[in-house]
Amino acid sequence: MNEFYQKDIISIKDFDKEKLEKIFTLTEKIMQLNPSERREICKGKTLGYLFYEPSTRTRLSFDSAMASIGGNSLGISNVASSSTQKGESLADTVRMISIYSDVLVLRHTLDGSSRFAAEVSDKPLINAGSGTEEHPTQAIQDLFTMKKEKKKIDGLKIGIVGDLKYGRTVYSLLHGLGNYDVDVRLISPESLRIRSDSTYEIKQKLDLTETTNIEEHLDELDVLYVTRIQKERFPDEEEYLKVKGSYVVGLDMLKRMKDDAIILHPLPRIDEISAEVDNTKNAKYFKQVEYGMHTRAALLGVTLNENGF
Ligand code: CP
């Protein structure tokens, strides 16, 4: 039986290098299939989604991925229009959607929400972002993008810049990178440094440098992973205003980077990458979105097929 069959995807920490590489190989395979072959993978299966926070890419990429492999999707993209407004609990809402679906995708404001939901769901549950804690399928997409665009992950010098305190994609990415031999530079304002409760575990696995100064690292980086300052997670708007616009990647910065360096971003972007960068060969953040659809199709395929695909 395929090891991913009927398994929840709650944390990137459950993926070692071997598992990640298997997903990357299956993603490559799925990208080679013609549309009719692809539609056989999850023919007749249903994905149920439940989003307690806004989303564009994650929800639509799961939706699109499921359609491309022959399945369909249903769910709640805005809990304000659901019976949660009448007081229905997360547990009961998850139970309802699991009755209608073969696999569930949950985004929630709280850390630990996906683990809790997986315990009450009869169907496998995929974490599509839980509080400031994790976004595992984004990390798989990010790692796949690095591998695809740089032809390797081991040996890369990777800068991660922006909101390292509240950005959940950063935590999942760092744990994922912990499976590889990489040199990571964490670049943020002092007040948005990576949370100390997470650094111990991550530092066991990764060679990390923390800095506020992006300039002194630019010429060494193979990958610059830019993140949005997460305004909605600041307890105090004054604190947000102090760090807003701390780093803006524009053509001036790009000129100081290696010719073949790539710029990634989990998106949405606000002002941290200038639009003038979008048309350069280095900008890979829209390609990253496209890869996200294929990595999610591969994950759904292995979760729902006993013998893989
Ligand atoms: N990267 C990401 O999670 O985007 P959305 O919030 O639009 O889903």
Catalytic site residue 107? Answer: yes
- Structure confidence at residue 123 (pLDDT): 98
Pick the CATH number of 12-135+290-304 from 3.90.420.10, 3.90.1150.10, 3.40.50.1370, 3.50.50.60: 3.40.50.1370
Q: Ligand 1: distance of its center to the CA of 1 in Å? A: 32
Question: What is the secondary structure of 100-118 as a DSSP string?
Answer: H-SEEEEEESSTTHHHHHH
Whole-angstrom Cα distance, residue 251 to residue 238?
Answer: 30
Fold adopted by 136-288:
Rossmann fold (3.40.50)
* Range list of H helices, 17-151: 17-32, 35-38, 57-68, 90-100, 113-120, 136-150
Evaluate: CB of 138 within 6 angstroms of ligand 1: yes
Top mutation candidate among 62, 126, 141, 267 for ligand 1, by most atoms within 8 Å of CB: 267
For ligand 1, atom 6: residue with the closest CA: 55
Q: pLDDT, tens digit, for every residue of 198-226? A: 778 888 899 899 999 999 999 999 999 99
The candidate with the shortest Cα–Cα distance to 118, out of 139, 134, 142, 138, is 134
Average pLDDT estimate for 277-295: 98
Q: Is the pLDDT of residue 2 over 90?
A: yes
Instruction: Please give the helix or strand (H or E) that residue 128 lies within, else none.
Output: strand 125-130
Catalytic site residue 86? Answer: yes
Catalytic site residue 132? Answer: no
For ligand 1, atom 1: residue with the closest CA: 266
User: In the beta sheet, which residues pair with residue 186?
Assistant: 160, 210
Catalytic site residue 135? Answer: yes
Q: Ligand 1: distance of its center to the CA of 266 in Å? A: 7
Q: Is the pLDDT of residue 24 over 90?
A: yes
pTM of the shown model:
0.96
Share of the chain above pLDDT 90, in %: 93
Q: Using 50, 70 and 90 to split pLDDT, how confident is the model at 197?
A: confident
Whole-angstrom Cα distance, residue 267 to residue 57?
Answer: 8
Average pLDDT estimate for 174-193: 96
Q: What are phi and psi of 127, to 5 degrees?
A: -75, 115
- Structure confidence at residue 35 (pLDDT): 97
Atom of ligand 1 nearest to the CA of 267: 1
- Structure confidence at residue 290 (pLDDT): 98
Average pLDDT estimate for 290-306: 98
Residue 257 structure tokens: 């980077």
Q: Ligand 1: distance of its center to the CA of 22 in Å? A: 24
Evaluate: CB of 170 within 6 angstroms of ligand 1: no
- Structure confidence at residue 196 (pLDDT): 85
Domain boundaries, the chain: 12-135+290-304, 136-288
The candidate with the shortest Cα–Cα distance to 51, out of 8, 10, 94, is 94
Q: What are phi and psi of 288, to 5 degrees?
A: -55, -40
Q: What are phi and psi of 141, to 5 degrees?
A: -60, -40
196 vs 87: which has the higher pLDDT: 87
Average pLDDT estimate for 244-252: 95
Q: Average pLDDT over the chain, rounded to whole?
A: 96
The candidate with the shortest Cα–Cα distance to 137, out of 148, 146, 126, 151, is 126
Evaluate: CB of 127 within 6 angstroms of ligand 1: no
> Around 281, how many Cα atoms within 13 Å sit in the side-chain half-sphere?
8
Q: Among the options 38, 45, 59, 107, which is catalytic?
A: 107
Q: Which amino acid is at 245?
A: G
Average pLDDT estimate for 31-46: 98
User: In the beta sheet, which residues pair with residue 108?
Assistant: 130
Q: pLDDT, tens digit, for every residue of 151-165? A: 999 999 999 999 999
Whole-angstrom Cα distance, residue 110 to residue 123?
Answer: 21
Q: What are the C-alpha distances in Å from 83 to residues 80, 93, 109, 143, 209?
A: 8, 8, 18, 37, 47
Give burial (CB, 10 Å; 0-12/13-18/19+) of 98: buried
CB-based burial, 237-252: b 16+ in 10 Å, e otherwise? eeebeebeebbebeee
Q: Ligand 1: distance of its center to the CA of 289 in Å? A: 10
- Structure confidence at residue 193 (pLDDT): 94
Evaluate: CB of 94 within 6 angstroms of ligand 1: no
Q: pLDDT, tens digit, for every residue of 63-87? A: 999 999 999 999 999 999 999 999 9
Catalytic site residue 145? Answer: no
